[in-house]
């Protein structure tokens, strides 16, 4: 999988791609992360990438010609990659989207800055994606989150392939939150590990875990629980 990052601050990714599972995926050849600055395509001596908005208003807007020229330069005479614009106006990123992106041979993540993009860029991207209903100063943190979520789904990156199936938001669990987990010590400050987990009866353990996942989702994320109930009834 090749991920191209369009960012004015490529250096912020240096430490991110050098640690944890992202670094492992890169070292094993399962993931390639490349960075491209749109400033390379900015006009004039100062290589400007933004300008004041037509009609007035606060802030600066990233120029469509600069951004599209940068995107075109990434194609390398090959089939165009799946282009994702990181924007607070986009569809909310979720586990299903991470699984879809992880199957892309080439993915481009476009990181915005300032007051956003000239709206004409919409013709040159495939979808807009947001981390959630809040605004950040740029798309770099969102790009890191997407790369992290996708890299762990690549075959062989995690030591146990089933780790991505039995976890929160996984389609395999119906989108439920993950059940409670425990490890040593058996008792800590008066709280014991649930006895069912100590008995070795895997059928009972599976039943307990599923019930706990349902209860936890219902209590913490009723929106997810309602969606789960709707899916199971259909």
The domain limits of the chain are 2-151, 165-233
Question: What pLDDT, on a 0 to 100 scale, did the predictor assign at position 202?
Answer: 97
How far, rounded to the nearest angstrom, does the alpha carbon of residue 12 sit from its chain's CA centroid?
Answer: 17
Query: Residue 97 — very low, low, confident or very high, per pLDDT cuts 50/70/90?
Result: very high
CATH code of the domain occupying 165-233 = 1.10.1270.20
% of the chain beyond a pLDDT of 90: 87
Q: How many CA atoms lie within 13 A of 19 on its CB side?
A: 5
pLDDT at 143: 98
Q: Across the chain, what does the average pLDDT equal?
A: 94
Give the pLDDT band of residue 80 (cuts 50, 70, 90): confident
First to last CA, the chain: 35
Q: Under CATH, which architecture does the 2-151 domain have?
A: 3-Layer(aba) Sandwich (3.40)
Integer Rg of the chain from CA? 22
Q: For a pLDDT cut of 70, what percent of the chain falls above it?
A: 97
- pLDDT bucket at 198, cuts 50 / 70 / 90: very high
Closest CA to 144 of 98, 100, 91: 98
Q: Token pair of 207, please?
A: 């039943």
Longest CA pairwise span in the chain (Å): 72
What pLDDT shows up at residue 79?
67
List pLDDT tens digits, range 119-164.
999 999 999 999 999 999 999 999 999 999 999 999 999 876 667 7
Residue in 109, 117, 98, 127 with CA at minimum distance from that of residue 35: 109
Task: Quote the pLDDT of residue 132.
Answer: 95
As to burial, measured by CB atoms within 10 angstroms (0-12 exposed, 13-18 middle, 19+ buried), residue 101 is buried
Which has more confidence, 77 or 73? 73
DSSP for 150-186 reads HHTTSTTTSSSGGGGTSSTT-GGGTTPPPPP---S-S
Pick from 130, 172, 146, 135: nearest CA to 1: 146
Q: Give the DSSP letter of residue 80.
A: P
Q: Which helix (H) or strand (E) holds 106?
A: strand 106-111
Round to whole Å and give the CA distance between 219 and 107. 36
């Amino acid at each position: 999988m090749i991920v191209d990052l369009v960012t004015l601050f490529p250096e912020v990714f240096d430490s991110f791609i050098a640690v944890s599972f992202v670094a492992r995926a890169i070292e094993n050849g399962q993931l390639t992360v490349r960075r491209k600055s749109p400033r390379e395509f900015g006009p004039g001596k100062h290589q400007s990438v933004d300008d004041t908005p037509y009609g007035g208003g606060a802030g600066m807007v990233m120029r469509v010609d600069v951004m599209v020229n940068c995107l075109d330069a990434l194609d390398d005479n090959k089939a165009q990659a799946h282009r994702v614009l990181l924007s607070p106006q986009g569809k909310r990123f979720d586990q299903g989207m991470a699984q879809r992106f992880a199957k892309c041979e080439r993915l481009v993540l476009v990181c915005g800055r300032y007051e956003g993009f000239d709206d004409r860029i919409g013709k040159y991207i495939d979808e807009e994606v947001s981390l959630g209903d809040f605004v950040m100063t740029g798309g770099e943190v969102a790009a890191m989150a997407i790369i992290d979520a996708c890299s762990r789904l690549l075959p062989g990156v995690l030591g146990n392939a089933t780790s991505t199936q039995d976890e929160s938001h996984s389609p395999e669990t119906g989108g439920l939150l993950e059940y409670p987990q425990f490890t040593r010590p058996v008792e800590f400050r008066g709280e014991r590990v649930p006895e069912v987990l100590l008995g070795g009866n895997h059928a009972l353990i599976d039943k307990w875990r599923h019930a706990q996942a349902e209860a936890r989702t219902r209590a913490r994320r009723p929106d997810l629980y309602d969606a789960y109930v709707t899916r199971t009834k259909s």
